[in-house]
Structure 1
Amino acid sequence: MKANESLAGALGEAGLTQAELAEAVNDYLRSLGRAGTVSDRTVRHWLTGKTRWPHPRQREALEAVFGCPAEELGFAPPAGRCAPHRTEDPVRRRHFLTAAAGTTAAVVPLVAARPYAVGTSEVIRLRNGLDALTALDAAKGGHEALERAALAGASEALELQKRAASQRIRQRLFSVAANYTAQAAWSAVDARQSDRAQAHLNRALYLAGMGNDPVAELRVWNSHAMVANHRGDFSQVVDAGRAAQATTVTRRDPLFASLAHARTAIGHSKVGDRRCALRSLGRAEEALANASTNEPRPSWVAFYGPAELMAITAVVRDVIGDAAGAEASSHRALAAIPEQFRRNRAMATLQLALAQLHQRDEEQACATAGQTFVLMGGDPLPGRMRCYLGDFYRDLTTLAPDSAVAREWKDRYRSEWSQTG
C-alpha cells in the first residue's frame, strides 16, 4: 500500500489538516443537497493509499476543493476501469480570477453566493485568488487595477464571514481578508502611493488581529517598514522591523525571522547605525540558514530567500558606504532571483547600477540601469521603480554633472521612465 504523496502535498500547500479537508468536502457535498459523511478516517484512508479511488461524489468534491482533477491528486481508477469523461473542468467551477485585457487580474465570483453556511471550501477558493494576484504582482509590479482586485477579494471574504459555519471558519476568513488588504497595500507601496498604502495597512492589521493570524501581522509590519522608508522616516523603519520580529511566527519559522531582521537592517543603515545594520544582516543570515525549504508558507513570501537577502544586503552595504560590497551582493542576488520575479530582478539590477555609479564607473552604471527597462519588457514601471530611477539619475548628475553619458542616458530613457501604470 503506497501513500498518496500528491494528496499530502496538496493538503500541505492549502494549509489544511485532515479534519479541515473532511469539512471542506462535506461543505461541498451539502451545497449540492447531498449528505456530508466524510470523516478524518476517510481522509486518512486517502492519504495512506488504502482508498485509491474515492466514489464519484467524493471525487467531485475533492476536485472542487483543490481545483484540479482527481488524478492530479494521486488517485487512480482500479485496473481495467477508465477515468470518467469530464464535461466540465472543476477549475472552471471553483476559480474566481479572470484576466481583463489579458494582463490584469480582477476578482469576479463565478458562482452566485449561496444561502448555506460558509465552510472551508470557500476559504480555499479565496486563497487561490490571492495566489493569482501574488503571481501577477511578481511579474508586473503594483498598479491600481491589482489594488482594486485585492480590495474586492477582501470585501468578499468579509461578506462570507457573516455566514461562517463556525468560529474557526470566521477567523480564517478574517485572515484571508487581512491578506487581500495587505496585498492591496503592497500594490499601493509599489505604486509609491504611501497615503493609500498606510490606510490599507491599518485596516489589514486590524483584520489580522481578528483572524488571529501572526503571519499576516508580520506581512503588514514588513510593508509598514517600506512605507516609512519611502517617507524618509527611518526610525519608523526600525520600529516596524522590530514589531515584525515580535510576531509569534518568527519563533516558529526562521524564514520569517530572517525577513524581519533584514528589513530592520535597512532601517539601521538609513539612520547611520552601521554596527546595528551589519548585526541585523548577520541575524537575518543565521535565521535563514536554519529555515526549512519544505515548510508550507503563503505565496506572498515566496519572494524571500537567499537571493532576496542578498538584494537587501546590497542596499544596506551601499547605504553604509561599501559600494564594492554592494556590487558583489547585487551580482549574487541576480544570479539567484527566479525568472518569474521580474520586478525584483529589475530592482536588483537598478541597485547594481547604483553600486557601480558610487564607485565612479558611470558608463557601466548607465548600461546596467538601462537593463531595467529591458527586464520590464515595455510595461509601465511601478512608481517605486520610477522613483529609484530618479535617485539613480540624481546621483549620476551629482557625480558626473557635465558628462555626455548622463545626458545620453536621460535622453534615451526619458519616455520609458515617465510611463505610469
Structure 2
Amino acid sequence: MDTTRNTILEAWMDEHGYSANSLATAVNSALESLTGRLGRCDGRQVRDWRSGRVKWPNSATRKALEGVTGRDPLELGFVPRRRPAPTVASEQEDVDPMHRRTLVAGTISAAVAAAAPGAASARKIGMRDVERLQNKFAAVIASDHSRGGQIDIEERATRLADEALNLQNSGSATQRVRSNLYATAASFRSSAMWAAIDGRRFQDSITHMREAQTLAELSGDQAIKFRIWSHAGSLYRHLGRPADARAANDVARNLHITRRDPMFASLGLARQMAIQGVAHERGGLRRAFDQAQEAMARAGEDHRPVWLTAFYDEAELHSLALSAYLAAGEWSTAEYHAHRCLAALRPHMRRSLAIATSRLAHAQLAQGDADTAAHTAMTVPAEAATQHARVSRMLQEFGAALRATAPSSVSTRNWTEHTRAWRA
C-alpha cells in the first residue's frame, strides 16, 4: 500500500498552529454545523491523513475540512480513490471543465503566493488576532462583575463587536478564524445585551440581542448561542413575560452543548427555576434546583468560555434560587438561599453581592423582621445602591415596603437617614 506522506496537509497544520487533536475538534464542530450531529473524528484519524494511510476521507469529512481550512481536499494534498495516472492528454481530456478550473486556479494561487513579495500580499488574519480580541472580552467580563449595568460597559462591548467584524474585512482568513471572529463579535454583543438588561435599558438590550443572535448563527458556536438565548430568557423574565422567557431558555437548553457539558445543562435548569418563580410555579422549584445542583456536581474540569467560568458556580445557583423563591413569595426559603449565596460568593462578584444582599433584605422584611431587614439593606455599598439600576430599584422598593410595614419605627428612621446620606 502506498503511504506517501501528505506533506501539504502537514504544512498547512504547521502554518495555522493545528495539532492532530485540535484539527479533529475543529472538524467535529464543522460536521455538527453541517449535519446537526457532533463528528467522531479524533487525533488518530488526522494522523492517518497526515501519514498518507488515509488518502481520501469520506464526503462529509471532506466538506468539513474544506469549511475549516478554506481549501478543497485536492489543495490539501488528498488523492481521490481510483484516480487515473496523470498525463497531459488525460488531464485535458478526462477532467471535467469545472474540476479543471479548480485545479488550475489552485495551481495559480499557489504560484502567486510563493512568488509574490510579502509586502504586496493581502493581510492574513489569524488566531492571534482573535486571541487579542478575546483578551479584551475577558476585561469586559471583569468590568461587568465589578460594576455591571453601566452604559460605558455596554458601549465598549458594542465597539469591540464592531472591531471584530471590521477585522473580517481587513484580510484573508481560514474558515476557522472567520468562525471564531463571528463568535467573538457575538460574545461582545451578548455582553452589551447583558449590560443593557442589568441597567434596565430593555429596548437597547433587544437591539443587541437581535444582532448577537445573527452573529452567533454565522459562527456556529454552540456556547455563545447558549449564552445569547439564556440571556434572552433573563431579559423576558425581567420584563415580566415568563412564557417568552421559558421559550427562549428552552432554545438554550435544547442545544447540543447541554448534553455534552453538564455545566451548561445546570445553568439552563437554574435559569428555568428563576422563570418558574416569576410564573409562581412553586411546586417545581425544588426539583429544578436539585437537578441543577446534580448536573453541576457531574461537571468535570473541562475548558469552558470565560463568561461562564467567571460567574456560574454554587453561589450563582443559590442566587437564582433566591430570585425564584422571592418572586414566588416563599420568603423563608428565599432567605436560606440568600445566606448560602453570600457565603459562597467569590470576592470579585461585587455586583452579585449587592443584588443578593438587597434580595435578602426583602425576604427578611416580608417575614416581619424590619430591624434585621433594614440593617441588611444598609450594608449594600453606596456605589451599587446609587449607580446600579437593578440594585437602586430593589432598594427603592425595599424602602417603600419598610415605610408601609413600620412607618414610625426606629429602623425606618435609620433607613431614611441612611439613604439621605447617599444623595448628599
Query: Taking structure 2 as the reference length, what is the TM-score of the superposition?
Result: 0.69
- The correspondence of residues 177-188 of structure 1 with structure 2, limited to 5 A, is 177-188=185-196
1:297 is the counterpart of 2:304: yes
1:409 is the counterpart of 2:380: no
Output one character per residue of 1:174-193: Cα deviation in whole Å (capped at 9) or x when no partner. Answer: 00000000011111111110
Match of 1:399 among 398, 401, 405: 405
- Equivalent-residue separation in structure 1 for 2:183 and 2:221 (angstroms): 6
- The correspondence of residues 244-283 of structure 1 with structure 2, limited to 5 A, is 244-283=252-291
- The correspondence of residues 34-183 of structure 1 with structure 2, limited to 5 A, is 115-162=122-169, 163-183=171-191
- Equivalent-residue separation in structure 1 for 2:296 and 2:405 (angstroms): 37
Is the 8 Å Cα contact of residues 385 and 395 (structure 2) preserved in structure 1? no
Q: Which amino acid aligns with 1:307?
A: A
- Equivalent-residue separation in structure 1 for 2:305 and 2:18 (angstroms): 16
**C-alpha spacing 1:282/1:117, structure 2 compared with 1 (3 Å):** same
Q: Which amino acid aligns with 1:399?
A: T
Aligned to 1:284: 292
- The correspondence of residues 357-396 of structure 1 with structure 2, limited to 5 A, is 357-373=365-381, 376=383, 380-396=386-402
**C-alpha spacing 1:199/1:344, structure 2 compared with 1 (3 Å):** same
Q: Following TM superposition, where does structure 1 have runs of at least 4 consecutive aligned residues deviating by more than 3 angstroms?
A: 16-22, 401-404
Aligned to 1:199: 207
Q: What is the Cα deviation at residue 273 of structure 1?
A: 1.2
- Equivalent-residue separation in structure 1 for 2:166 and 2:22 (angstroms): 22
Is the 8 Å Cα contact of residues 126 and 157 (structure 1) preserved in structure 2? yes
- Equivalent-residue separation in structure 1 for 2:319 and 2:377 (angstroms): 15
Output one character per residue of 1:61-83: Cα deviation in whole Å (capped at 9) or x when no partner. Answer: xxxxxxxxxxxxxxxxxxxxxxx
- Equivalent-residue separation in structure 2 for 1:391 and 1:251 (angstroms): 40
Q: What is the Cα deviation at residue 318 of structure 1?
A: 2.4
Is the 8 Å Cα contact of residues 161 and 170 (structure 1) preserved in structure 2? yes
Q: What is the Cα deviation at residue 280 of structure 1?
A: 1.9
SS at 1:372's partner residue?
A: coil
Aligned to 2:106: none
- Equivalent-residue separation in structure 2 for 1:148 and 1:195 (angstroms): 15
- Equivalent-residue separation in structure 2 for 1:295 and 1:203 (angstroms): 29
Is the 8 Å Cα contact of residues 119 and 169 (structure 1) preserved in structure 2? yes
Q: What is the Cα deviation at residue 115 of structure 1?
A: 4.8
**C-alpha spacing 1:372/1:164, structure 2 compared with 1 (3 Å):** farther
Q: Which amino acid aligns with 1:185?
A: M
- Equivalent-residue separation in structure 2 for 1:307 and 1:220 (angstroms): 21
Question: Identity, % of aligned pairs?
Answer: 33
Q: Flag the structure with larger Rg.
A: 2
Q: What is the Cα deviation at residue 403 of structure 1?
A: 3.5
Aligned to 2:19: 18
Q: What is the Cα deviation at residue 230 of structure 1?
A: 2.0
Q: What is the Cα deviation at residue 237 of structure 1?
A: 2.0
**C-alpha spacing 1:250/1:411, structure 2 compared with 1 (3 Å):** same
SS at 2:302's partner residue?
A: coil
Q: What is the Cα deviation at residue 20 of structure 1?
A: 9.9
- Equivalent-residue separation in structure 2 for 1:401 and 1:221 (angstroms): 43
Q: What is the Cα deviation at residue 21 of structure 1?
A: 8.8
RMSD, matched Cα: 2.4
- The correspondence of residues 210-249 of structure 1 with structure 2, limited to 5 A, is 210-249=218-257
SS at 2:200's partner residue?
A: coil
Q: Which amino acid aligns with 1:141?
A: G
Output one character per residue of 1:9-48: Cα deviation in whole Å (capped at 9) or x when no partner. Answer: xxxxxxx9636999xxxxxxxxxxxxxxxxx9xxxxxxxx
Q: For structure 1, which segment, 210-219 or 394-403, has the greater mean C-alpha deviation from structure 2 after superposition?
A: 394-403
Aligned to 1:8: none
Aligned to 2:340: 332
Match of 2:354 among 333, 346, 360: 346
Q: Which amino acid aligns with 1:326?
A: A
Is the 8 Å Cα contact of residues 164 and 185 (structure 2) preserved in structure 1? yes
SS at 2:387's partner residue?
A: coil
Q: What is the Cα deviation at residue 148 of structure 1?
A: 1.2
Q: For structure 1, which segment, 237-246 or 356-365, has the greater mean C-alpha deviation from structure 2 after superposition?
A: 237-246
- Equivalent-residue separation in structure 1 for 2:407 and 2:237 (angstroms): 27
Unaligned runs of 5+ in 1: 1-15, 23-39, 41-113
Is the 8 Å Cα contact of residues 279 and 328 (structure 2) preserved in structure 1? no
**Aligned residues, how many?**
311
Q: Which amino acid aligns with 2:325?
A: R
Is the 8 Å Cα contact of residues 182 and 204 (structure 1) preserved in structure 2? yes
Query: Taking structure 1 as the reference length, what is the TM-score of the superposition?
Result: 0.69
**C-alpha spacing 1:413/1:314, structure 2 compared with 1 (3 Å):** same
